[in-house]
Structure 1
């Protein structure tokens, strides 16, 4: 499309030139057309959908997770293995579907941003990364049938443009029940639907639902004297899938996505402890180009509130208010 527009503009300008100039302009247009027809040259100026043989560097993803995500050993391990395995599979049988669960401020949005940046340099701003907010894009319950139709058209259109499209659904716990089932056909084991293959797309669900279940398991480990790093995916994944399936406010209530086992991974985000909050503060100071002052780190962390009431182990807002509290100092 950009090539057609550029050439059309050039041809329109030719009409105002003298014969010699016209010849030069036509020659220039031919050269320009030849160069733009080559994907490598063209994609240096316009974002292009990655070719089938493009493989993002898993080492870069691992480094980004290590440096920017704190206290989430399970999420780091699952995301790295799931994404790396998927993008290096030359013939996936279905799209990759991840469902991220945990309290606010534990890193779910951060991880979706890291995933987007690992696949596309523009990250969340990429033409091929699509973010849906439940309260913004699907606010009215009486319009659910319309939303279902629109959602199918949006996904079909974008995957037709780029097979490696990424779709992120935030605020799943605020999504009207049954709405997400509209995308079930795109997540299933179909080679094509109406001539379009969805097998290379990635779908990511973000939800606060299940946060209480995750915290309960983490607290049980703490009370028994076991390290949080000893918590394994098997300790939480089944609890999460059943919990959100039976929770009317999860967005996945009685969803066929769970019933048909179309969600590949339920990824738990553990509640953050005091030491993790301090890590977030240090990282935020470094990102601003500031010297890390440990006195300020202690002051900001000390203003955060923790639960349960007696033990005060976990930050009730994770790292969500770190930026605003740091502004005060």
Structure 2
């Protein structure tokens, strides 16, 4: 057992351990490791370097989605506007009016523009009221007839009312009776039109002959604080009110191009509005369209058109002879018919 004596191991003469060398080796190894950590990482030439993937923002996606939704809503609204305008065929109406209404280019353009703006949608905050004013024979009633014919063709006869004061409310009838009758006609039509999503058209001619009671009744239908069906309606008021002022303005400005420009219509409007306001306040709710005097050339056009309707050959020399039989205002080199085309039908019927 002496061979395994513990003291012999501790003081062995065969094995010796140099601890200083081992310590040096460990320190050297640590220095190498520390240097290795600080070295630049080298990539092979054929390897691509990639930046870390960026996290995509969810807010950006939501914003793009919102923009897309708004775009499609706007596109849908534009398509709906086009559908409404196509339903009423206002382009066709404009062509017809330019072809059949003579000497009133500015007035026709103004009427069509108002109708297009109003009929582009079925939702309104007030009815559309258009007042056609001018001297006799200049085409106001003819425009009313063209409008009635057109809207009957694109909608239905049930949604167009032509109201002539002398016929529907003659002088012998009590104003209260006329008031009740007109109110019932309007109420019935707007109710039926609302059910079928149509816009009713009321054409009221000879408005200058309406009694104050009837004007009061009519004005209540023009107010904005009504139920929806009464807001979705078009009223055309036709009268000779302001005709004398328009005649005077035309004669005074005959030598200029003002009459055929929008600026001329605006000046006329500033003259007519006070006149209409003194008759009744309802014209404050109306878009007023002045009709100017017709020149002799326009009267000749009226003769030609009327003769075609009657199946007569429109001989130019014969037409000029008929036109010369009418009375005119003469100013400079211009001649304006004092009665417009009012007497054309009667003259042609005598042929």
Normalising by the smaller structure, the TM-score range is 0.7 to 0.9
State the SS of the aligned residue for 1:127.
helix
Is the Cα–Cα contact under 8 Å of residues 148 and 162 in structure 2 kept in the other structure? no
Distance in 1 between residues matched to 2:249 and 2:285, nearest whole Å: 25
Match in the other structure for 1:182: 217
Distance in 2 between residues matched to 1:216 and 1:73, nearest whole Å: 20
User: Does 2:110 align with 1:85?
Assistant: no
User: Does 2:179 align with 1:158?
Assistant: no
Q: How many residues align?
A: 264
| Cα distance, 1:222 vs structure 2 | 1.1
Matches within 5 A, 1:18-167: 55-121=87-153, 126-140=157-171, 143-163=174-194, 164-167=199-202
| Higher gyration radius (CA) | 2
Question: Structure 1 pair 81/286, CA: closer, same or farther in 2 (3 Å)?
Answer: same
What are structure 1's unaligned runs of at least 5 residues?
1-50, 247-252
Q: Judging by fraction of residues, say which structure has more helix.
A: 2
Question: Structure 1 pair 206/73, CA: closer, same or farther in 2 (3 Å)?
Answer: same
Distance in 2 between residues matched to 1:286 and 1:54, nearest whole Å: 30
Distance in 1 between residues matched to 2:136 and 2:152, nearest whole Å: 25
Deviates more, 1:150-159 or 1:71-80: 150-159
State the SS of the aligned residue for 1:197.
helix
Deviations 1:167-200, CA, capped at 9 Å, x for gaps = 12111111112421212232121351xxx61122
User: Does 2:278 align with 1:256?
Assistant: no
Distance in 1 between residues matched to 2:347 and 2:177, nearest whole Å: 41
Match in the other structure for 2:230: 198
Which segments of structure 1 move beyond 4 Å, counting only runs of 4 or more? Answer: 51-54, 308-312
| Cα distance, 1:275 vs structure 2 | 0.8
Is the Cα–Cα contact under 8 Å of residues 84 and 120 in structure 2 kept in the other structure? no
State the SS of the aligned residue for 2:212.
coil
| Cα distance, 1:305 vs structure 2 | 1.1
What are structure 2's unaligned runs of at least 5 residues?
1-82
Match in the other structure for 2:340: 318
Is the Cα–Cα contact under 8 Å of residues 164 and 206 in structure 2 kept in the other structure? yes
Match in the other structure for 2:14: none
**CA RMSD after TM alignment:** 2.6
Question: Structure 1 pair 294/53, CA: closer, same or farther in 2 (3 Å)?
Answer: closer
| Cα distance, 1:68 vs structure 2 | 0.3
Deviates more, 1:136-145 or 1:275-284: 136-145
